[in-house]
C-alpha cells in the first residue's frame, strides 16, 4: 500500500525536494500559438501572435512553476529573418525572464520539400536543406543554445517510388556536415517518427535508425525520443533504457496519445508511462543521465494555451516526484530474487503515492505559488492577453497554417 504523502519520512521528502530542484522542462514557443489539425485550425483569443507574446507567456509559465526557464524556438516560425533576429531574442529574454532553448529547424514546410529535404533526390534541394541546418546551428551558437533539434519529415507514400538505400546515404552526408559545424557545447538531436506525413516509408522511422545516423554523424549527435511517435504498445521505457545504456539519449519531446501522434497533454492518457520513463532515467547513474533535455511538444487545440502549458509542467513535476520516491535498493533486491508481486508493489507504491502535498511544500519553500493553475486563474493574465490579442486572432481565423 502506498504511503500517504503526509506521512512521508524526512528522507523521502528530501528526495522529492532534490529531484524537483534539478528538474527542468522546456516549453515550446509553438505551444502558445494557434495550431490545428490537417483539417483546420482552431483559434483562441489569447493565443500568442508574435515572438514577443510567446516569450511573455513562457516567462509566466516559468514564474508559476519554477521549472521552465527556456523556450524552444522554431526557426522559420519564430525567427523568419534568421540570424538577424538574434538581437531581438536577446531583448525578449531579458524582458520576460525566459531564455532561448533548443533551436528547431524547419525542413517540412517549404514547397520544395514535397519529395523530401535532406533525402530529396534533387541535389540542389538537399543543399538548400543543409544551408538551413547550418544557419540554425549558427543561430544556436549566437544564442548560447545547447541543442539543435531535428525532425526530418522525409519519406515516401508508395512502394517503388523512391530508393530507400540512396536516401540513407544522402541523410548521412547532410547530417555529418551539420554535426561538424556544431560549436563548443552544442549538440544535434535526431528525432524519429514511424509515419506522418510519409505513410509508406519514413526515412527515420525508429530509434535504431536515429541512433545509427547519430553515430555516423559524430559524438555530438544524440537521439531524441518523442513519446507520441511510436506504434501502439511500444515499450518506450525499454528504448530509454537502451539509449541510456549506450550513452545516446539526448532528450525528449513529451506529449501523450490515445491512437497515434495525437499531441495530447503529457500524462493525460497514460501517466503511468511517463512515470516508468522517469524511473528508468532516475535509475541511471548521474553521468548517464547528465544532459538529458526534457522538452514539451504538444498541441493545445481545445485546452487554453496557458492553462494547458502550466498543467503539463505541474503534471511532469508530480510524476518526476513519484519516480524519485521509488526505493531502488529494495526494488533491486526483489528483482534479483524474482519476487515478482513484491517487486511490482514496491514499484507501484511510489506511483500511487499522492505527492501533491510534498510538491506544494517544495513550492512554498522555493517561494513559488502553491497552486500554479489556481494562481494563473486568479492573476487575470489569461483575460488580459485574450483582451489584447482577440482582434488579431479573429483576423487570422479564416486562414490555415
Q: Which CATH architecture has domain 5-395?
A: Alpha-Beta Barrel (3.20)
Our measurement of the distance from residue 24's CA atom to the centroid of its chain's CA atoms, rounded to an integer in Å, reads 11
23 phi and psi angles, rounded to 5 deg:
-85, 125
pLDDT of res. 7: 62
CA dihedral 278, 280, 282, 284 (to 10 degrees): -150
What does the pLDDT look like over 64-91, one tens digit per residue?
999 999 999 999 999 999 999 999 999 9
The low-confidence residues of the chain, meaning pLDDT below 50, are 1-2, 4-5, 399-401
Strands (E), 113-197: 147-150, 155-156, 187-191
Distance CA 45, CA 389 (A): 6
pLDDT of res. 1: 38
- According to DSSP, the β-strands at 187-191 and 35-37 are unpaired
Q: How many CA atoms lie within 13 A of 181 on its CB side?
A: 19
Reduced to 3 states (helix: H, G, I; strand: E, B; else coil), residue 215 is helix
Strands (E), 172-211: 187-191, 201-202
pLDDT of res. 40: 75
Say whether the peptide bond before residue 198 is cis (omega within 30 degrees of 0): no
**220 Cβ contact list (under 8 Å, min separation 6):** 179, 182, 186, 187, 188
Sequential DSSP letters for 282-341 = HHS-HHHHTTPEEEE----SSS-HHHHHHHHHHHHHHHHHHHHT--HHHHHHHHHTT-HH
pLDDT of res. 38: 67
pLDDT of res. 41: 78
pLDDT of res. 277: 98
Distance CA 168, CA 116 (A): 12
Reduced to 3 states (helix: H, G, I; strand: E, B; else coil), residue 143 is helix
- According to DSSP, the β-strands at 35-37 and 40-42 are antiparallel
To which H or E segment does residue 37 belong?
strand 35-37
Among candidate residues 66, 54, 80, the one with its CA nearest the CA of residue 25: 66
8 A C-beta contact, residue 186 and residue 140: yes
To which H or E segment does residue 222 belong?
strand 221-226
8 A C-beta contact, residue 236 and residue 277: yes
Among all chains, which residue has been given the C-alpha cell 522555493? 366
Distance CA 187, CA 249 (A): 11
- According to DSSP, the β-strands at 201-202 and 155-156 are antiparallel
Find the distance separating the first CA and the last CA of the chain, reported in whole Å: 49
**Cell numbers at 119, concatenated:** 533525402
pLDDT of res. 363: 98
Distance CA 55, CA 287 (A): 32
Distance CA 330, CA 232 (A): 32
Longest dimension (CA), the chain: 65
**Cell numbers at 344, concatenated:** 511490482
Among candidate residues 110, 115, 118, 112, the one with its CA nearest the CA of residue 161: 115
Distance CA 287, CA 307 (A): 35
Amino acid at each position: 500500500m502506498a504511503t500517504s504523502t503526509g506521512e512521508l519520512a524526512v528522507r523521502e521528502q528530501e528526495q522529492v525536494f532534490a529531484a524537483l530542484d534539478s528538474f527542468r522542462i522546456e516549453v515550446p514557443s509553438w505551444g502558445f500559438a494557434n495550431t490545428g489539425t490537417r483539417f483546420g485550425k482552431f483559434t483562441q483569443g489569447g493565443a500568442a501572435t508574435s515572438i514577443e507574446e510567446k516569450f511573455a507567456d513562457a516567462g509566466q509559465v516559468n514564474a508559476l512553476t519554477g521549472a521552465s526557464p527556456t523556450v524552444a524556438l522554431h526557426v522559420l516560425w519564430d525567427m523568419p529573418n534568421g540570424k538577424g533576429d538574434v538581437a531581438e531574442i536577446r531583448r525578449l529574454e531579458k524582458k520576460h525572464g525566459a531564455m532561448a532553448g533548443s533551436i528547431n529547424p524547419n525542413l517540412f514546410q517549404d514547397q520544395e520539400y514535397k519529395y523530401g529535404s535532406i533525402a530529396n533526390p534533387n541535389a540542389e534541394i538537399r543543399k538548400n536543406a543543409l544551408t538551413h541546418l547550418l544557419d540554425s546551428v549558427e543561430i544556436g551558437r549566437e544564442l548560447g543554445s545547447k541543442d539543435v533539434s531535428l525532425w526530418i519529415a522525409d519519406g515516401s507514400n508508395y512502394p517503388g517510388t523512391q530508393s530507400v538505400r540512396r536516401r540513407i546515404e544522402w541523410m548521412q552526408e547532410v547530417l555529418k556536415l551539420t554535426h561538424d559545424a556544431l560549436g563548443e557545447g552544442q549538440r544535434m538531436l535526431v528525432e524519429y517518427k514511424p509515419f506522418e506525413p510519409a505513410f509508406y516509408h519514413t526515412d527515420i522511422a525508429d530509434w535504431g535508425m536515429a541512433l545509427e545516423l547519430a553515430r555516423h554523424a559524430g559524438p555530438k549527435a544524440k537521439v531524441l525520443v518523442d513519446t507520441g511517435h511510436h506504434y501502439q504498445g511500444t515499450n518506450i521505457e525499454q528504448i530509454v533504457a537502451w539509449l541510456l545504456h549506450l550513452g545516446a539519449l539526448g532528450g525528449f519531446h513529451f506529449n501523450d496519445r490515445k491512437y497515434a501522434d495525437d499531441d495530447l497533454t503529457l500524462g493525460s492518457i497514460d501517466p503511468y508511462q511517463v512515470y516508468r520513463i522517469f524511473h528508468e532515467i532516475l535509475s541511471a547513474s548521474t553521468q548517464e543521465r547528465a544532459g538529458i533535455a526534457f522538452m514539451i511538444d504538444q498541441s493545445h487545440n481545445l485546452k487554453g494555451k496557458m492553462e494547458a502549458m502550466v498543467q503539463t509542467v505541474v503534471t511532469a513535476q508530480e510524476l518526476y516526484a513519484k519516480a524519485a520516491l521509488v526505493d531502488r535498493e529494495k526494488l533491486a533486491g526483489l528483482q534479483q530474487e524474482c519476487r515478482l508481486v513484491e517487486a511490482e508493489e514496491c514499484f507501484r507504491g511510489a506511483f500511487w503515492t499522492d505527492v501533491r502535498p510534498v510538491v506544494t511544500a517544495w513550492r512554498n519553500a522555493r517561494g513559488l505559488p502553491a497552486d500554479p493553475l489556481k494562481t494563473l486563474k486568479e492573476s487575470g493574465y489569461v483575460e488580459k492577453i485574450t483582451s489584447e490579442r482577440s482582434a488579431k486572432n479573429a483576423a487570422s481565423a479564416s486562414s490555415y497554417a
